[in-house]
C-alpha cells in the first residue's frame, strides 16, 4: 500500500514537472512585433518581427470599420440606419455597450462605439448586418484583407475576441491603416473621436496617444491576454504622416510609451539631413532595437491549447490582466 502510494506521488510529481517543461517554451514565446511606415512614400522606416503571426485582438475592429465604410460608400447602409441587436450580439463579453436583444443602434453610433469603447457586442451587430452572420462576415473580412495585400491575416470574428486561428502581422496592420487613410479618408475623422455618449454614459477613447503625442489622430487599441497590449497609431506633422504598429505590450502604459518613441524616432529620421538617406532611419531607431520586455505578454499553453482569460470577466480591450483562466476553444 505504501509502495503504491509512493509510486502515485512520484508519478504525479513527474507529471507536474513534464507539464512545467511543456509550458516553458510557450511561456517565453515572443509576442512583440512592430513596424513604422512613412505613409507618403510607403517606405518602411523600422520593422521588428513585422511578418510574424500575432493575435490582433481589437485591432480587428479596424477591418470591421473598413467594411462598414465600404458599405456606406456602396449605399448598402446609411449612417442613420438602425441595426437590430440579436441575442448572439447581446451575449458578447466586455468590452461592450451591454446592448439588449431586440433593441437597435444606428450605424453612426456603432462606428463611434467601436472606435472609443471597442464594444464587442456592437462589432457583432455590424457583422450580422453586413454578412448575414458573424462567421460569414469574418470570411468576407478575410477576403477583403487578401485583396488589400494583407496576405498573412485571417479573421474568424468581427471583434478580435480570442480565437487561435485569428491571426495577423504588424506589416498587414500597417497596410490596413494605410488603406483606411487612402480608401476611406472621408471617414477617418471617426478615429479621432475622444469620447462617445450612449445611454447616459460617456466612454473615453482607449487611445491615450490622441491627447499626448503631437500629430496623433487615430486609430485603434487592442488587448487580450494572448495578444498583450496592441496599438495601431497614425500621426501627421508638417504635412508628413507616419503609421506605427505595435503588438505584445506587457502593459498599456509601456505600449503607449514605446509607440510614442517609435513615432518620435520616425520624425527624427526625417530631420537627419546630415546623414546619408540609407542611414537616417537606422540611426533614429537604433536606441529602440531592444524596447520593453518582449516576452511580457507571452501566453502559456497546456496540452496544445492556448490559455486565455475568461472572457466573462472583461476580455477584449483595455480591461487589464485577469485571474480566471480557461482553455481557449478550438478555432
Instruction: Write down the catalytic residue from 34, 86, 95, 118.
Output: 118
**58 is a catalytic site residue:** yes
d(CA 135, CA 15): 39
Neighbour-count burial of 6, counting CB atoms closer than 10 A to its CB (0-12 exposed, 13-18 middle, 19+ buried): exposed
Strand (E) or helix (H) holding 257: helix 252-271
Beta pairing partners, 201: 198
**61 is a catalytic site residue:** yes
d(CA 224, CA 56): 9
The CA-based dihedral angle spanning residues 60, 65, 70, 75, taken in that order and rounded to the nearest 10 degrees: 140
**117 is a catalytic site residue:** no
Distances (CA, A) of 25 to 22, 29, 276, 298, 301: 7, 6, 41, 10, 9
d(CA 169, CA 133): 25
Instruction: Write down the catalytic residue from 31, 34, 61, 250.
Output: 61
The C-alpha R_g of the chain, in whole angstroms, comes to 21
Strand (E) or helix (H) holding 277: helix 277-285
Per the structure block, which three cell numbers stand in for 177? 491603416
* Short-list 270, 252, 273, CA closest to 41: 270
Q: Pick left, alpha or beta for residue 221 (phi over 0 → left; psi -120 to 50 → alpha; otherwise beta).
A: beta
Which sequence positions are flagged as catalytic?
58, 61, 118
Amino acid at each position: 500500500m505504501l509502495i503504491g502510494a509512493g509510486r502515485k506521488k512520484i508519478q504525479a510529481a513527474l507529471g507536474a514537472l513534464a507539464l512545467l517543461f511543456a509550458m516553458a517554451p510557450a511561456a517565453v514565446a515572443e509576442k512583440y512585433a512592430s513596424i513604422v511606415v512613412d505613409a507618403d512614400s510607403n517606405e518602411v522606416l523600422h520593422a521588428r518581427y513585422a511578418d510574424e503571426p500575432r493575435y490582433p485582438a481589437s485591432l480587428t475592429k479596424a477591418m470591421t470599420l473598413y467594411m462598414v465604410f465600404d458599405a456606406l460608400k456602396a449605399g448598402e447602409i446609411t449612417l442613420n440606419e438602425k441595426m437590430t441587436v440579436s441575442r448572439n450580439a447581446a451575449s458578447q463579453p466586455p468590452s461592450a455597450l451591454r446592448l439588449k436583444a431586440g433593441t437597435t443602434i444606428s450605424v453612426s453610433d456603432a462606428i463611434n462605439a467601436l472606435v472609443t469603447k471597442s464594444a464587442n457586442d456592437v462589432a457583432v451587430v455590424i457583422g450580422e448586418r453586413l454578412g448575414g452572420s458573424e462567421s460569414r462576415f469574418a470570411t468576407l473580412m478575410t477576403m477583403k484583407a487578401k485583396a488589400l495585400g494583407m496576405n498573412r491575416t485571417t479573421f474568424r470574428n468581427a471583434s478580435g475576441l480570442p480565437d487561435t486561428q485569428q491571426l495577423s502581422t504588424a506589416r498587414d496592420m500597417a497596410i490596413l491603416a494605410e488603406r483606411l487613410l487612402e480608401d476611406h479618408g472621408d471617414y477617418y475623422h471617426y478615429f479621432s473621436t475622444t469620447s462617445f455618449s450612449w445611454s447616459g454614459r460617456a466612454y473615453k477613447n482607449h487611445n491615450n496617444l490622441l491627447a499626448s503625442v503631437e500629430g496623433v489622430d487615430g486609430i485603434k487599441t487592442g488587448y487580450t491576454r494572448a495578444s498583450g497590449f496592441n496599438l495601431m497609431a497614425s500621426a501627421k506633422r508638417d504635412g508628413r504622416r507616419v503609421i506605427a504598429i505595435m503588438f505584445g505590450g506587457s502593459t498599456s502604459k509601456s505600449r503607449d510609451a514605446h509607440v510614442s518613441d517609435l513615432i518620435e524616432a520616425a520624425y527624427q529620421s526625417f530631420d537627419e539631413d546630415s546623414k546619408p538617406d540609407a542611414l537616417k532611419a537606422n540611426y533614429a531607431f537604433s536606441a529602440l532595437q531592444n524596447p520593453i520586455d518582449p516576452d511580457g505578454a507571452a501566453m502559456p499553453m497546456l496540452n496544445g491549447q492556448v490559455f486565455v482569460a475568461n472572457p466573462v470577466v472583461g476580455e477584449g480591450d483595455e480591461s487589464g490582466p485577469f485571474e480566471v483562466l480557461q482553455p481557449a476553444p478550438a478555432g
